[in-house]
Structure 1
């Protein structure tokens, strides 16, 4: 079992620049799509999509940002130096108070300039895509009938001259609307704003860390009756191989739990994986984890 698990490639080392994890109402959330892609590609974290549309808040099939991290996932990123946890309530209140100062006015102006630049970029990309589609359709029409020459424009008694107000409105730059998914542009880029102290960080899980450092992706395993579902790679490409449960080192595991979990795991084409972190002993370092795998035969 150990040989099989260590053969999987570990996640890539994190890149500099900590990710901001928002602590809101006791939940660890990520709102930035770039941060979501980074933790998935480099740290093997899938997390859970929780966002919904205001127009249809009861839909539960297609969820989006933000994603919610479990406590052990947030702690793992902090321990690796890849992220920090920010208390969004207190931090946003402090930033709103700063907006009434001169420094706040400058920050607001810089934010609006950056937002306008993003709108210009969006308009340019939209126009480029529109031109490419138009060119493609024109190419398809070349093989068909020739276009008729357009009739020359003639003056009409019913045409009214364009007023200066209309001409000015036509020349005015019209930019598409953009709704930023985060308020990071209002924060200081060089400072870790709102970070909570180390003693307030969530509890770590050696069992989860053991799976993650060996390249396994994990998702909540509640629907299979376990703590985690462990995948040998990204869940978009692989099925889960293990139904995993975590115990304490001195826990007495009832035989009925092993039998039922083993049979359930085999029924859904998974092996039942369970283990615990070894207690600190002489010659044994903290974080040493023992795991066992059960696969029911004869089903």
Structure 2
């Protein structure tokens, strides 16, 4: 079961395997919003978590593929257990959260230190193995340089008890392995979610304010109908629409349609129709005006042909 975490109306997926299943099995895209650890100061390539559209979130829950949850700590400020005031509850919650965060930070620092110690030991063993395998060639090269510089006959170098070359002496103390060179494990899931509470999809709340909203119901009916037809959909904000529709995975195809949702039998200003038609023509996409009507969705395509 895919776990979708809610935070003030945003639906986030933290597990990489869940993200893969959402895209490959269910044909939903979402939007990666997390910074990459190695390149945090750029926005061309992002990582976990995956933020889902409200329509994508609702669809996954309704088909039984996902569960909506929220962190219980975010609800403590609104509870009134033991007749405590909201301010006192918030204060206690903040202290508890800070203690939990600090303990996780300390545990992570200890994990990094243990990992560094282990990796330094392995790197030291590899360094010693390489030096031992090349010791004869190193001795030969140094002997030739010494003979060339001093004009003396070649003499073999003395071997120390620790090894044939001086680099092997006290290698454990002189070996330099900076912490910046160590490999760091990148988690593919949120390491600690704490206590969570399941959220009712049909009950409006701070974390899920879409229940009962007419605009959300309108968009969801259109979204679901196009998804059932096999299309991939993403947000259409950058093109002035509700959704962008792709014939396949957006990694392989350009969007073919710009979706604009309108209630059935609602008057549409002519200026909006002209604007939408010209926009679609300029970006080489077809604009679809979509209106749910008695279990079906009516689609009207617009094409700007200019003045005839």
| TM-score normalised to structure 1 length | 0.61
The answer on 1:258 being equivalent to 2:241 is no
Tell me the CA shift for residue 278 of structure 1: 0.9
2:245 aligns with one of 220, 226, 230: 230
Q: Does the Cα contact within 8 Å between 2:290 and 2:299 map onto a contact in 1?
A: yes
**2: distance between equivalents of 1:248 and 1:81?**
28
Tell me the CA shift for residue 212 of structure 1: 1.0
Aligned to 2:18: 35
Aligned to 1:85: 68
Aligned to 2:199: 196
Please list the CA deviations of residues 152-171 of structure 1 after superposition, one character each: whole Å capped at 9, or x if unmatched.
981179789769x97xxxxx
2:52 aligns with one of 59, 69, 76: 69
Gaps of 5+ in 1: 1-17, 98-107, 135-147, 167-174, 280-286
Aligned to 2:232: 217
Tell me the CA shift for residue 60 of structure 1: 2.7
Please list the CA deviations of residues 105-150 of structure 1 after superposition, one character each: whole Å capped at 9, or x if unmatched.
xxx9xx99xx99xx8xxx9xx99xx9xxx9xxxxxxxxxxxxx867
CA gap 1:45/1:76 in 2 versus in 1, 3 angstroms: same
**2: distance between equivalents of 1:32 and 1:43?**
16
Q: Does the Cα contact within 8 Å between 1:90 and 1:194 map onto a contact in 2?
A: no
Tell me the CA shift for residue 183 of structure 1: 3.9
The answer on 1:291 being equivalent to 2:299 is yes
Aligned to 2:185: 178
**2: distance between equivalents of 1:196 and 1:25?**
12
Aligned to 1:139: none
CA gap 1:250/1:89 in 2 versus in 1, 3 angstroms: farther
**2: distance between equivalents of 1:176 and 1:56?**
15
Aligned to 2:4: 21
**1: distance between equivalents of 2:189 and 2:74?**
14
2:159 aligns with one of 148, 154, 160: 154
Q: Does the Cα contact within 8 Å between 2:36 and 2:45 map onto a contact in 1?
A: no
**1: distance between equivalents of 2:52 and 2:271?**
32
Paired residue secondary structure (1:155)? coil
Paired residue secondary structure (1:199)? coil
| TM-score normalised to structure 2 length | 0.59
The answer on 1:271 being equivalent to 2:286 is yes
Q: Which structure 1 residue ranges, 4+ long, deviate > 4 Å from structure 2?
A: 53-58, 91-94, 148-153, 156-163, 184-188
**Larger helix proportion of the pair:** 2
How many residues align? The count is 228
Q: Does the Cα contact within 8 Å between 1:24 and 1:89 map onto a contact in 2?
A: no
